[in-house]
């Protein structure tokens, strides 16, 4: 991921791979910088009515990028907006957050958090 500096306080323009249907990166503005990570997680997708294993590859206060390990189980339409609600369970820290899929390529999703992170299973 390539980061471009900007003279604003709230947005960080970032290259996002595969965020267009043609697979070319586009520049988008983020409300919070993302931190690289490798958190094991499970994602529940309304589209497939199932839970899939994934890895959170970067995270911020407002969203995350996840890599799906079983991406072939989800039909790839190129449109993240058709996915419905996405619930992300970060299993190591036992945190859950409801999200909206903002972009998608074949094996990754860009998620925007719709709720605050909550602990589960305590």
Q: Report the pLDDT value the prediction gives residue 10, as an integer from 0 to 100.
A: 38
What is the torsional sign of CA 109, 113, 119, 120? negative
Q: Report the pLDDT value the prediction gives residue 110, as an integer from 0 to 100.
A: 93
Is the separation of the CB atoms in 20 and 80 below 8 Å?
no
Q: Please give the domain boundaries of the chain with CATH numbers for all domains.
A: 33-119 (2.40.10.220)
Q: Report the pLDDT value the prediction gives residue 104, as an integer from 0 to 100.
A: 87
Q: Of 31, 32, 69, whose CA–CA distance to 109 is shortest?
A: 69
Compute the distance between CA of residue 83 and CA of residue 78 in angstroms, rounded to an integer: 10
Q: Report the pLDDT value the prediction gives residue 122, as an integer from 0 to 100.
A: 66
Q: How many CB atoms lie within 10 A of CB 39?
A: 18
pLDDT along the chain (122 residues), means of 10: 35 43 49 89 84 95 93 73 85 95 90 95 76
Q: Report the pLDDT value the prediction gives residue 74, as an integer from 0 to 100.
A: 76
Contacts 24+ apart (CB under 8 A), 75-78: 75/47, 76/104, 76/106, 78/21, 78/104
Is the separation of the CB atoms in 35 and 62 below 8 Å?
no
């Amino acid at each position: 991921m390539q980061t471009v500096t900007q003279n604003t306080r709230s947005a960080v323009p970032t290259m996002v791979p595969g965020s267009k249907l043609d697979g070319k990166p586009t520049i988008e503005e983020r409300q919070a910088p993302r931190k690289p990570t490798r958190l094991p997680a499970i994602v529940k997708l309304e589209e497939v009515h199932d839970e899939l294993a994934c890895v959170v590859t970067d995270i911020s206060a407002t969203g995350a990028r996840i890599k799906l390990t079983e991406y072939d189980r989800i039909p790839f339409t190129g449109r993240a907006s058709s996915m419905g609600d996405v619930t992300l369970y970060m299993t190591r820290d036992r945190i859950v957050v409801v999200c909206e899929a903002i972009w998608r390529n074949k094996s990754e999703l860009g998620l925007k958090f719709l709720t605050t992170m909550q602990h589960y299973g305590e």
